[in-house]
A and B are shown apart, each in its own frame.
Chain A
Amino acid sequence: MTSVLVRERPGFVWAAPAAVFFGLFGIVPIVVVVYLSFTSWNGLGTPEWVGTQNWSALFDDGDFPSAARTTLYLTVGSWLVQTPLALLIGVWAAGHQRFRAVMSTIFFLPLLLSTAAIALVFVSLLDPNFGLAAIWGKYIGVPDGNFLGDPSRALPAVVFVVAWQFIPFHTLLYQAAARQIPGMLYEAAELDGAGRVRQFFSITLPQLRNTIVASSVMMLVGSVTAFESVLLLTNGGPGNDTKVLPLHMYQQGFIAFDMGYASVLAVLLVIVGTVLSVVVVRSTGYHRMTSDREGL
């Protein structure tokens, strides 16, 4: 029996193409980016070794602290806006209200639009001359309708657009998870006299714990590295007010062609990504989740 089964076992050759392919585009670049961070390179010629020059430039880069702050603002702001809303709407959509099906379908539609499409639609909507912002701005205390071009309003506007794009997705996750909560938990709570709010905090929230963790981690990792929305909405402006770290890196590398210094910023992004990923693995636990799904 054993000899028969051994013959069946697939060898490394089955995994080799995928591993080589991913190694070439995923792992090798990390080594290369560390090397490039010690070189001077304009994107065309050959990178030249300059030692730690790029790394010390980090301390003289006035844009770096503000880019780090903006990234933190965008990340925390996105989480604070998206999580409560997605949770509320998701739990609501898991219920049996009238019009629920129709509204859920509408809620879902932004998912069909690409990041670029959503960003550009909002550039038009928030246009201070012809957009909706010009007409409705005065009702929310912005008479000139200037959102994306105003230093104090640009970043909240970016948070809003990113939320518009991603809340549907997280709502979907919460909706699916809330439907899995056994109804008898609520019946028992009702018999014990627990009200609607008490039920939400004592049953719904604890039951959704895993979903909240997973959805939050996805939001956080996504926001730290997201720069496409910012690029298309404001290109970092006005001034540097919405410039996030990945955008700063992109501009240093592909606009200013200082690939060496951009690589320093890239290495920092790898570090942040890795730290967050450790949080992913620790908090959700891949193997535990596998067993969770069995029998579903």
Chain B
Amino acid sequence: MLDLIDQYAVTLEFSVAYALFALSTYVALRGGILSLAAVPLAAVAGFVSLILIEDHGVPIELMLVIGVFVGIAAALVMSLPLLRLDSHWVALASIAFVLMGRVVVLNLDSVTNGAVGAPITRTIQPWHLIVVLSVVSWVMSRHRRSRLGLAAESVRTFPEVASSLGIDVISTRRSLWMVSGALAGLAGVVYANLVQFLSPDTFHVNVAFIMLAAVVLGGAHHWFGALVGALVFTMLPDVLRQYLDEGETIVNGVLLIAIMIFMPRGLVDPTRRVRRRLARLSTNTHLATDDDSVDDDSASQMWDLHLTGRTVEAVVDPLSDRSAIAVERLHKTFGGLVAVDELTFSIPERSVFGVVGPNGAGKSTLLAMISGAVEPDSGRIKLFDEDITGLTAVSVARKRVARTYQTVQLFEDLTVLENIIVGFDQQRITNFWDPVLMTRRSRLEQVELAEKARALMDRVGVIGQPDQFAVTLSYANQRRVEIARALATDPQVLLLDEPTAGMHKLGTQAVGELLLELRDQGLTLVVIEHNLELVLNYCQRSVVMDFGQVLYEGPPAECLADPDVIEAYFGRKADAERIESLIQLRQHPSSSTR
């Protein structure tokens, strides 16, 4: 064993430098920034270390610390143009930075000695490398599920959802970018010291490509993957060199292609086992599509215990005169299509408010405009008499307006509990250092949030384990987790886009009763629904929309009895009769057979 370490000592040392490069790339990637900028960032730190070590005799310990700050400073400068870009273009722009870096190095003769290159004395010892790697690993592991770590997950997977939870996408990305810069700075100092010679090609585009590849090879879903990828990429060719005369790096290329085909999530994949099981299950049963799967038989039994049979009729207090949300002449077109047409209505505070209408009536667009995801062309939106027109989604969310989505948007790498905890982001007080230093408040917060999240799971009736991956739940349960996540933000207004889609009767009833319960606690609930039973049984008021306009506004039963509505919504007489029977069902619930 010691012989082996001896034999590959140099390669192992280099693999530490590459690991730092790879981690820098990984951190950016974690926030959805596909960037090759670790290399130019490292170059800045590398050349600074050249000057400080050669001309001023700065000791390596101090140099490593300086490297971190140089990396952060360089990242800050580079973020100005880079992070303004759409995520796809960041990759391209970062390549341009790599190439520009080379030109700068070529031309800053006085510092870099131009094309000739400059030697640098090695002062780094193996124990330095071990310390650096340990500290970095500690920070990475502590931040895997920290506040920043969870925010990164949300920003990467569904930026829009992140905003709706009050998480600022841009500032989260900027934080990650700074961390990435710090790691790149370390990488630059270590790498410069190990190669002992800096030339324009030391930090070139080849290194950048290979570092990105190493991260994905090792697994871009866990920080440890970056280490593994860097190790494999440096060690494998070195081992093969003993058996081959030339072309030993070809093996890396072959390995990359094979991994991308057979193991697209890389060598280290924390969800691998779960995914395999899920793949097996989904070929046997239709697990992810509806509630008729195995776990929901027991689920409905559990609900029987919870269900009270309460409907909107039991709500006696009259509707408030004050409106939680009021829209005035709200208008939105997409191209030539009018999605929302001069819409005016208001939603009373502390009410359950239904929005119904045929597909394409503009319901989801309305919701998107209220939540700030889509900016209206004209008109006003008021939240408790405060004008919120044109505010960004984050600002609206921070005014305690939460929402769920028509299609489930859960964070795939997170467990049920973690998914819900993401929603607590704005109430958290821990900063970057708390989890690293394991402060008391960090531990307390962790325990407290886990408890609160569990309570929310119970409250919305999620059937599943807190620590199972959320995407392994049945569809209906995934929807419930989404509601729990939205509730975690402690909203005063909750917008729900088809919350009961894919649920069976008991599930729908449970959601309806939850809505009433939340109303009792002071929330205003806005529900887009196709399920008329839910609207009739649990909404106090509703609007019917068609072609972006209000067709009828009033109590649900009245709405659905209106002949215009019946014609627009159902068209045929047969359906109208169905509605009438539904209304009767609501008026005489006792005659229900269930």
A, B co-complexed: no
Q: B: which residues have CB within 8 A of A?
A: none
Q: A: which residues have CB within 8 A of B?
A: none
